[in-house]
Structure 1
Amino acid sequence: MESGSARSSAAPSLFDLMTPYEHEQVVYCYDAATGLKAIVAIHSTELGPAMGGTRMWHYASDEEALTDALRLARGMTYKSAISGLNVGGGKAVLIGNPHQLKNEAYLRRFGKFIDSLSGKYVTAGDVNMTLRDLEYIRMETRHVTGLPETIGGSGASSLITAYGVYMGMKAAAQEAFGTDSLEGKKIAVQGAGAVGSKLIEYLTKEKALVFVSDVEESKLQKISQEFGAHVVSPEGIYDIPADIYSPCALGATLNDDTLSRLSCQVIAGGANNQLADEQKHGSLLREKGVVYAPDFLVNAGGIMAVAAEYFGEFSRDYLFQKAERIYDVCLDVLKKAAQQQNDPHKVAKKMAEDRISSIAYLRQKR
């Protein structure tokens, strides 16, 4: 009895963590020689191979890393489905400090691990992964995409991601303000990374008034000098009296604390898993009258780019045309949500799930 009681009061098991996310498979890799600790979460292969980037992070625990992989992989499934792509959702996380562990041997060992999955999972770049890193992975497997243009890849997908976020933001503005013009709008952008900085370029070209925060001071100085964005502290970004809040860093920034502070009418950004609690905070945004552009819809430009590259269908013009369609899909989701008196995140998920079900049924009939 005592041992059973001890187990029940301990941290949740790995299977307990997996249960809510309904994944097909989770694979672990450990290599003592290189220090590699990796988790690949395969959420769905109903539409095609599970596709999603690899991120490297100094997670506080293995459980935190697993939860991140599970949430991100599920998000990739919805992102691909609602974008009309024939790929499923997956994600890989590398556990550790990228400045200490990442080198050629480490990355090539990870590439061999990816190759052992025989194409069930296709990786790409994400947080703390460079194009050079992907080249090392490519030496061991062909199941990697988002490669440099110099070797026939699509290059940095952040350009397409940022353009898709921009299109989604304009659609949300149309729904909230009756016009999709962002001229004169106060927009608070959280994160000045590859996506956030490019988004700021689009916004300032349209004469929006941009406020930006980031944990890296050097990025802020460059953005401020180049685009005239107003720099605020990482915590202060939530208190700006903005028309639009655009989370473009890590997820879960829409939570109990921040939603009590944000005064915006629109939320549209490039971060994944923006809602700390999808059910609770999605509903709370609707109750507050905030137009929320679902994250997995508006930031789908990146998966559009890497999927097109993997299947040999891409050109730069083609990718921007695909990302531009995010405007129409987002506007459709927002209008349906208003008609159904439902929150947009739920509506978008239902649309994605319906497509997955219909294609799965079609394949069963072959």
Structure 2
Amino acid sequence: MKIFEYMEKYDYEQLVFCQDKTSGLKAIIAIHDTTLGPALGGTRMWTYDTEEDAIIDALRLARGMTYKNAAAGLNLGGGKTVIIGDPRKDKNEEMFRAFGRYIQGLNGRYITAEDVGTTVADMDLIHMETDYVTGISPAFGSSGNPSPVTAYGVYRGMKAAAKEAFGTDDLKGLTIAIQGVGNVAYNLCRHLHEEGAKLIVTDINQDAVQRAVEEFGAKAVAPNEIYGQECDIFSPCALGAVINDETIPQLKAKVIAGAANNQLKEERHGDALHEMGIVYAPDYVINAGGVINVADELQGYNRERAMKKVESIYDNVAKVFEISKRDHIPTYKAADRMAEERIEKARNSYRSTFLTNGKSILSR
């Protein structure tokens, strides 16, 4: 892998390799862009086949966080960490404390959080060495479980998508097919049920499905039947890449709005939805409630302030639709453009400030 060539292609700022022989730590911190502020992104622990796979994943995820944070209106850049190892057997206190010291050494350029393979307890260990970590235990001032907040953000974004498709953001009476009924989707179902929506649910976990049936009067279907349901909104809240060549022909929904990451298997599938007239709320815009919530911890967590910010996901999704119509592009491209425009405005502001200050110095 030609690392510098790859970094130059997507304009990454920094790649940090962290090693601690005693604890077995092998970590890679990728910082993509800090134009809007310090890079915020979680720490993932995974059994990568090769070191190159780990590097590529760190870089890919960091760039995704730049766009997610920018689109969410946060004054934060994008970064990500991957730790090479099996989260079920390779963890130890020394590992996360050593990693915390590496984060501290970056002096605030990167702030970490929980991700796949890491937990609140792991973040607490990192917190022993640095303050540049979010998602720690509530006893230390954390916001706690992010799932309800993420769900509320998806709910707000879904209402914006409904308004785009149906002319009103009232979800009462609409039929919504939800794929996956985990922690986020369960809370989403609660909001939708309270507004009077009709729910169709599926999950490989039958207990989760049964809970939704009993508490929200949802209709249960088999996992492979969810795509073809007669519904107004399809809400992917489980795996990624579920919008693909096989599923698109089955869709009967007018709207796709859900919590899952990387819903489009390939970009061309976003093009296909656009051509079919299906309103697609890009995943990293609509599911940003979690990162908005943990970002508030950096100011000393205030739930009322955080939830007010999460409500703005409605406006962010609506802006994506505006850009899509303005530039005649699919919404997945419009989301990227919204993030890029915000970053570019910040860059131009910095350049303007620098030039103004420079002239004033020279004229003294």
In 2 relative to 1, CA 331–19 (structure 1 residues): closer, same or farther, beyond 3 Å?
A: same
Give the distance between the partners of 1:159 and 1:112, measured in 2 at CA.
Answer: 31
Distance 2:193 2:144 in 1: 24
Task: Report what 1:43 is aligned to.
Answer: 32
Query: Which structure 1 segments of 5+ residues have no match?
Result: 1-11
Q: Which moved more, 1:210-219 or 1:50-59?
A: 210-219
In structure 2, C-alpha distance between the alignment counterparts of 1:43 and 1:250, rounded to whole Å = 25
Q: CA 1:169/1:234 → structure 2, altered by over 3 Å: closer, same or farther?
A: same
Question: Which amino acid in 2 is paired with 1:163?
Answer: Y
SS of the aligned residue for 1:260 comes to helix
Instruction: Give the CA deviation at 1:78.
Output: 1.5
Tell me the distance in 2 between the aligned counterparts of 1:29 and 1:347. 36
Tell me the equivalent position of 1:146: 135
Q: CA deviation at 1:319?
A: 1.3
Q: Secondary structure at the match of 2:98?
A: helix
Quick one: which amino acid aligns to residue 141 of structure 2?
Answer: G
Cα displacement (A) at 1:167: 0.6
* Residue of structure 2 in register with 1:303 after alignment: 291
Residue type of the alignment partner of 2:167: G
| Matched residue, 2:328 | 341
Matched-pair identity in %: 50
Letter aligned with residue 149 of structure 2: I
Q: 2:304 aligns with which of 317, 320, 332?
A: 317
Match of 2:88 among 93, 99, 108: 99
CA distance in 1, matches of 2:116, 2:312: 26
CA deviations on 1:35-94 (whole Å, 9 max, x unpaired) are 433332211111111001223344455444444333322221122212222110112223
The answer to whether the 8 Å contact 2:254/2:279 transfers is yes
Q: 1:130 to 1:225 in 2, by over 3 A?
A: farther
Do the aligned partners of residues 94 and 258 (structure 1) sit closer, same or farther apart at CA in structure 2, a change above 3 Å counting? farther
Q: Residue 56 in 1 paired to residue 56 in 2?
A: no
1:14-44 C-alpha deviation (Å, 9 max, x unpaired): 5676565432222333444434333322111
Amino acid at match of 2:159: K
Change (3 A) 1:133 1:237: farther
* Partner of residue 114, structure 1: 103
Q: Any residues of structure 2 matched to 1:206-355 within 5 Å, and which? A: 206-278=195-267, 280-312=268-300, 314-355=301-342
Give the secondary structure class of the aligned counterpart of 1:252.
coil
Unmatched 5+ residue regions in structure 2? 355-364
Residue among 108, 130, 137 paired with 2:126: 137
2:145 & 2:305 partners in 1: Cα distance?
15
Q: Which has the larger radius of gyration?
A: 2
State the Cα distance separating 1:360 from its structure 2 match: 1.6
User: For residues 111-143 of structure 1, what are the alpha-carbon distances to aligned partners after superposition, in whole Å with 9 as ceiling and x for unaligned?
Assistant: 233223222110112234332221111112111
Q: Could you tell me whether the CA contact under 8 Å between 1:158 and 1:194 is conserved in 2? A: yes
Secondary structure in 2 matching 1:257: coil
Contact 1:75 1:273 in 2 (8 A): no
CA distance in 2, matches of 1:197, 1:210: 11
In the superposition, the TM-score normalised over structure 1's length comes to 0.86
Q: In the aligned structure 1, how far is the partner of 2:102 from the partner of 2:76?
A: 20
Compared with structure 1, are the counterparts of its residues 231 and 94 closer, same or farther at alpha carbon in structure 2 (3 Å cutoff)?
farther
Would the alpha carbon gap of residues 266 and 69 (structure 1) be closer, same or farther in structure 2, given more than 3 Å must change? farther
Q: Residues 237 and 259 of structure 2 are in contact (CA less than 8 Å); yes or no, is this contact kept in structure 1?
A: yes
Shift of 1:104: 2.7
Q: Distance in 1 between matches of 2:193 and 2:245?
A: 30
Output the amino acid matched with 1:260: P
Retained in 1: the 8 A contact 2:7–2:13? Answer: no
Distance in 2, Cα, partners of 1:64 & 1:213: 32
Counterpart contact for 2:323–2:338, Cα < 8 Å: no
CA distance in 2, matches of 1:226, 1:128: 30
Between stretches 157-166 and 334-343, larger displacement belongs to 334-343
User: Which residue of 54, 57, 67 maps to 1:78?
Assistant: 67
Alignment partner of 2:188 out of 182, 191, 199: 199
**Matched residue type, 1:173:** A
* CA RMSD, Structure 1 to Structure 2 (Å): 2.5
Q: Deviations over 1:117-175 (max 9, x none)?
A: 22211011223433222111111211101223222122223222211111111100111
Separation (CA, whole Å) in 2 of partners of 1:134 and 1:41: 18
